[in-house]
Amino acid sequence: MHVLLTGASSGIGEGMARVFAEAGWDLTLVARRRAELERVAASIEGRVRVNVVAADVAALDALDALVGAAEAELGPIDVLVNNAGVQIVAPTASVDPADGERLVTVNLLAPFRLTHAALARMIPRGRGTIVDISSLSALAPTPGMYHYSASKAALAAASESLRAEVRPRGVHVVTVYPGPIETPMARRAIDAYPEDPTRGLPVGDARTLAVRIRRAIERRHDRVIYPRAYGIARMFPGTTRWVMDHFSPTPRALPPAAG
């Protein structure tokens, strides 16, 4: 089994890299920070083959070649995990439009390109799995996460749409909706609010989420919502929207740019 995993240098991506390695799956790990990728790779090498690729997935035109190079290194990609993500938590009017557009490129357009490249190889083989790491924000869009919520909702819709299309061709699609997870990115998001918005709510951990994703791949489950309590957001979208509209906290404004 060969897994191409983006955003593999920390947080949920690092958790998946470790859990997948425990299953004996070979890994192509992709992220911008080579030193962090090599740290993750060093902790799992010896158990599986690991291919480290320092790349910015925002460079869309390079992604087809990245997939081709990964297959040349470790063989056909059995699982593509679209995990790389950027998050901005701030009042929307204070966000630089260029930063918001880069977020959409990383969170949405890069998965589109990678999925297209992977499907071009998986469909002729009649097998493969695409895993899209969306967010609870796709089910419960959050104030102060204008670009992030939009990108994750679009990725989730695309992922859910693709499943029925490619199932007859032997390709499975898993859509993942993480709620609050203990990661560095989540901590930065929490720090953007005057008070912790997750206080009193279920908070998960990256390893447990990774185990559930691995199980979904192995058992061909359609989606993962974790912590499981947040499944109510999908079951009762109207109630969820009312709660978000009336009780969501407002993030602090971004500090002014230097210079």
When pLDDT is cut at 50, 70 and 90, the band that residue 4 belongs to is very high
- For 2-247, which CATH superfamily applies? NAD(P)-binding Rossmann-like Domain (3.40.50.720)
pTM value? 0.90
Q: What is the mean pLDDT of residues 143-153?
A: 95
What is the DSSP code string of 201-246? Answer: S--EEHHHHHHHHHHHHHHT-SEEEESGGGHHHHH-HHHHHHHHHH
Q: How far is CA 153 from CA 135, 148, 188, 205, 210, in A?
A: 8, 8, 21, 22, 21
The letter for the amino acid at 203 is: V
Q: What value does the CA radius of gyration of the chain take, rounded to a whole number of Å? A: 18
31-42: average pLDDT: 95
Least confident range of 9-18, 54-63, 83-92, 231-240: 231-240
Over residues 85-90, mean pLDDT: 93
> Could you give the CA distance from residue 25 to residue 202 in angstroms, rounded to a whole number?
30
> Is 148 a known active-site residue?
yes
| Cα 38 from Cα 40, distance rounded (Å) | 5
Residue 177 has pLDDT above 90, yes or no: yes
pLDDT per residue as tens digits for the range 42-73: 999 778 999 999 999 999 999 999 999 999 99
The pLDDT of residue 232 is 86
Mean pLDDT value across residues 213-234: 94
pLDDT value at 254 more than 60: no
Q: What pLDDT, on the 0 to 100 scale, is given for residue 99? A: 97
Give 241's pLDDT tier (boundaries 50, 70, 90): confident
> Where are any strands of DSSP class E within the chain?
2-6, 26-31, 50-54, 79-82, 128-133, 171-178, 181-182, 204-205, 223-226
Interhelix angle for 110-125 vs 63-74, to 10°?
Answer: 40
- pLDDT over 90 (residue 169): yes
Q: Which residue intervals of 23-109 are DSSP H helices? A: 34-44, 63-74, 97-104
Q: Is the pLDDT of residue 110 over 60?
A: yes
At residue 86 the predicted structure's pLDDT band, cuts being 50, 70 and 90, is very high
Q: Which one of 148, 177, 226, 230 is the catalytic residue?
A: 148
The pLDDT of residue 230 is: 87
pLDDT for position 259: 33
